[in-house]
Amino acid sequence: MADPTLSAETRAEILAACERLSHDYAHLADAGRMEEWSQLFAEDGELVLPGAVVNGRPAILKAVSGPRGEIASIHSMTNIRIDVEGPSKASGLVYITAFQVPKKDGVAAMAAIAPSVVGQYADEYVKTADGWRFARRAFTPLVTAAS
């Protein structure tokens, strides 16, 4: 439930900060900057993926670390909807269209351009000493490739 005591300016600042987290999440993942990417989560943050719940920033980084050199990822975040619940808490839903494409000679190439998954993130945001961070980010796939 929204906090009616927050000024419009404070609410706008919170909305912008939380929206920026989603854009930074995509940008840093696509750039392979996973150490910086993991810092988008609160120290005790939680990442929920199909079949896995990962708690804490070090565990989140470990879960997504690995060879990325031969695969290009492209994340498109859309339909970002954030509800400000208070001066240090917000929640939201974000749609994602993700592509994972093998690289050939350093360039991603595929016969037909199609996303690998379309889904949504249910987010909980928290204000920390370092600014706004994901307290929890839970991914649900909505459309996947038919097998």
Does the pLDDT at position 1 exceed 70? no
For residue 61, the model assigns a pLDDT of 94
Q: What is the pTM of this model?
A: 0.90
Q: Tell me if 3 is assigned to some domain.
A: no
List of E strands, the chain: 41-49, 52-55, 71-86, 89-104, 107-108, 117-128, 131-144
Given a contact cutoff of 8 angstroms between Cβ atoms, the answer to whether 90 and 18 are in contact is yes
Give the Cβ contact number of residue 42 at 10 Å. Answer: 20
For residue 73, the model assigns a pLDDT of 86
Q: Tell me if 2 is assigned to some domain.
A: no
For residue 110, the model assigns a pLDDT of 76
**CATH value at residue 12:** 3.10.450.50
Q: Tell me if 63 is assigned to some domain.
A: yes
**Tens digits of residue pLDDT in 108-142:** 777 777 888 999 999 999 999 999 999 999 999 99
Q: Tell me if 48 is assigned to some domain.
A: yes
**Tens digits of residue pLDDT in 10-66:** 999 999 999 999 999 999 999 989 999 999 999 999 999 999 999 999 999 999 887
Q: Tell me if 50 is assigned to some domain.
A: yes
Q: How, if at all, do strands 131-144 and 117-128 pair?
A: antiparallel
For residue 64, the model assigns a pLDDT of 85
For residue 146, the model assigns a pLDDT of 75
Q: Tell me if 108 is assigned to some domain.
A: yes
CA distance 15 to 84: 7
Q: Tell me if 124 is assigned to some domain.
A: yes
For residue 131, the model assigns a pLDDT of 97
For residue 5, the model assigns a pLDDT of 85
Total number of domains in the chain: 1
Residue type, 104: K
Q: Tell me if 37 is assigned to some domain.
A: yes
**Tens digits of residue pLDDT in 51-107:** 999 999 999 999 988 766 677 888 999 999 999 999 999 999 999 999 888 877 777
Cα angle 30, 78, 113 (rounded to 5 degrees) comes to 60
Range of the domain at 53: 8-144
Q: Cα-flanking dihedrals φ and ψ of residue 130, to 5°?
A: -95, 10
